[in-house]
Amino acid sequence: MPRAEQGVRIALVLAAVATLTADAAEVSVSGFGWWRNREMRQSLERLHEEAREQALDAVAVEDMAFVLIADLESRGYLRPTVRASITPEGGGEARGYVFDESLDTLLPRPTSAAAVRFEAEPGVHYRLKSVEFAGLQSVDEDTARTYFQPGRMLPLAGAEERAYTPDRLRRSESALQAELWSQGRAQAVVNAEVLSIDHESGDVAVRVSVDEGPKWVVTALTTTGFGEGVPLPERAEWEGRPWSDAVARELADKVRREHHRLGYADVRVKVTPKVEAPVQNRRLVTPGVTVESGPAVEVGEVRFEGNVVTDEELLRRRARVDSGEPLDPPALDRARARLGRLGVFSQVDLEYGPEGAEVRDVVFSLKEAPRVDARLLFGYGSYEQLRGGVELTQTNLWGRAHHSRTEFIQSFKSTQGDYTYSVPGLFGEAFDGSARAYGLRREEQAFTREELGGELTARRQLRRWGLEATAGYSYESLTNADNELTTRTTDDETVRVASLNFGLSQDRRDHPLQPHAGWRWFGQLELADRLFGGEVDYQRWQLGASWHREIGAGRWLHVGAQHNGVVTLGFDGDAPVNKRFYPGGESSIRGYQDGEASPRGADGRFVGAETFVLVNVEIEQALTRRWSLVAFWDGLGMAENLREYPFDEALHSVGLGLRYNTLIGPLRVEYGRNLNPRPGDPSGTLHFSIGFPF
């Protein structure tokens, strides 16, 4: 290589290295609060990649200022200013510029900034102080006001939740109008106007004028173009209903589903209302349903693509789509969902074609998920304190969608391990099966619980009703070591138990981790008998339910109840120590730690209960979007022996709690005060825990 050419190449390399190692343009933000400053700086750097190069031009700096101004305005600071201190590239004195909501400030061209320091001055925070309504009749004012002041019922609502902006006012106006339309007021018009703005306090007063217009009511239906064999809509189901776009969509969807069921895959449905003149503030509506049914389509070949490991016969049984049957798009979507619920695919796509043909092939395109996954576990409870562990899952074993889960958890009070092997579709698609082996060592209040066992379980879910049913067989070795119970002299230290187990539950809550509406109930029955291979005989049941309801904007009522018992009907002797009940704790009666609410013997030591009834009542008041305050009462009735059924002793706790809602459930700090503590009982207990209590 000639020496001159080599020198040029070296120079180019050095220039590239210098460019890569040069200091990037520095951007800093202040005035938003510590955490928000950091977030806004990161947003600005993402907005302009130039921030990672040597300098920023005028357009980049102006765009950044616009983003900061827009953020402040969206949170109710309608007259903010942002000061930009720009240090020019190559050094020199920094120059200052001021941007405001007018966005009229322009930087000189050219500008080349090595560093930009933004300092925000939010100014007055504007909030919607009062809302008055005129002409509103179909919606009560308290409900209507929540569209405009969503944070008004949150005592500690933050500035953003109480903010006023013109955009928020327009959205609130549209939301109230949509609510009126849904009630049949199809011509309703909502107009929100600002009555006054106090630029010193930020208080804004608004008047909402409503012209509801006549109520539109369905009186009859007309139908045209229905496919052969497709039933017409039942007129009685629709006549008399308030007319709205939602009703039109519901009617069209029902007609479309009936056509799909018979194979009219390309059906098109249009609903056009014929509206009569208003009479006594009512307008009668005759919806006209026009159908273009297209040809009836059959399923041709059914193919699966991308199943490298998964057995195809399993997929066909799971999909339940056969050649020659009517091509029903919603049924195919349900088949796709069933394949997804196998838990072995990260993606399931569906196609059918060719388009327009009367026989169409159905293709499921599958992407298999990783077959091994490991994760760390973490939790906290007032009794066991920190809990940590590891979980290892394996999916699609043998290509049959079998799963295994291995779990090990250690806390300050317990050590436990669990291995579960699951088989979907054990007895047809409806039943899933599992085999489980487990071990537990846990320090209870009055003894050390040691348990080893295994169980076989069949499970069926009835998704339409939200029901889950289980049945199984278990064999356990139960040990109670270091026993300080009053009953220690009458109980065997180790006993082997064989039992049949049955369970049934139904869940109609709006959210499984943070319920605010709906209900749930469950029942479990355990029947132990020597005939099944064990050493003892008993019958043990657990019944429970919870109910949740909103009782005001940002306020909810939660009620939970349990009734558990263990008996030895037809047999002599008592139930094993490990199978008795030891109430108390953050998910029981909260004036006590785990097990501290158990019955006490004459010597003051704990005795396991053979039956108890627990009732929890809570009133939750939202403080912000995430924080809430809880007042609760927990009542416990229990009996050492079933002869005193349902209970012969009662305990009561009342208390307050603070909760922070997270993706894994609420973080809870609660204190329960005991109203009638027994000798040796605590006056109250402070709990720190994660998860809803019942």
Total of domains in the chain: 6
Indicate whether 133 and 201 sit together in one domain. Answer: yes
Rounded mean pLDDT, 389-398:
94
pTM of the model: 0.71
Is 90 inside any structural domain? yes
- On the question of pLDDT at 192 being above 70, the answer is yes
In a domain, 3, yes or no: no
pLDDT > 70 in the chain, percent: 93
Same domain? For 567 and 527 the reply is yes
Residue 8: what pLDDT? 38
Domain hosting residue 356, numbered range: 298-368
Q: Are residues 672 and 610 in the same domain?
A: yes
Whether the pLDDT of residue 174 is over 50: the answer is: yes
Residue 610 sits in a domain of what CATH number? Answer: 2.40.160.50
**Would you say 604 and 679 are in contact if contact means Cβ atoms under 8 Å apart?**
yes
Residue 50: its pLDDT value, please?
Answer: 46
Q: In this structure, what CATH number is given to the domain that contains residue 156?
A: 3.10.20.310
Q: Say yes or no to pLDDT of 6 above 60.
A: no
Task: Give a yes or no: residue 14 inside a domain.
Answer: no
Tell which of 242, 266, 292 closes a domain: 292
374 and 519 in one domain? Answer: no
In a domain, residue 610? The reply is yes
Report if residue 148 sits inside a domain. yes
**Residue type (1 letter), 658:** L
pLDDT at 5: 39
Q: Which tens digit of pLDDT belongs to each residue from 655-691?
A: 999 999 998 889 999 999 999 999 999 999 999 988 8
Rounded Cα gap, residues 251 and 256, in angstroms: 9
Tokens in use for 440? 């537990």
Q: Which of 368, 388, 420 is the last residue of a domain?
A: 368
Q: 560 and 438 share a domain?
A: no
Position 487 confidence tier, pLDDT thresholds 50, 70, 90: low
CATH code (residue 26): 3.10.20
8 domain residue, yes or no:
no
Q: Taken in order 513, 514, 520, 526, is the CA torsion positive or negative?
A: positive
Q: Residues 35-74: pLDDT tens digits? A: 889 889 888 888 776 445 568 889 999 999 999 999 999 9
Asked if 515 and 594 sit in the same domain, the reply is yes
Position 2 in a domain: no
Task: Looking at mean pLDDT, say which of 387-391, 425-429, 615-619 comes out highest.
Answer: 615-619
On whether both 503 and 652 belong to a single domain, the answer is: yes
Q: Measuring CA to CA, which residue among 80, 83, 111 is closest to residue 97? A: 83
Write the single-letter amino acid at 584.
Answer: G
- Give residue 10's pLDDT: 36
Residues 429 and 448 in one domain: no
Does residue 434 lie in a domain region? yes
Same domain for 184 and 112: no
End of a domain among 77, 94, 121?
121
Q: Is 451 found in the same domain as 571?
A: yes
What pLDDT is stored for residue 153 in this prediction?
A: 57
Between residues 642 and 656, the one the model is more confident about: 656
* Cα distance between residue 236 and residue 419, in whole Å: 55
User: With the C-alpha atoms ordered 602, 608, 609, 615, is the resulting torsion angle positive or negative?
Assistant: positive
Q: Which class for 16: exposed (0-12), middle (13-18), buried (19 or more C-beta within 10 A)?
A: exposed
The pLDDT tens digits for 570-607 are 777 778 899 999 999 999 999 999 999 999 888 888 88
Assess whether 543 and 631 both reside in one domain.
yes
Average pLDDT, the chain: 89
**Domain match, 438 and 468 both:** no
Tens digits of residue pLDDT in 435-477: 999 999 999 888 899 999 999 999 998 877 779 999 999 999 9
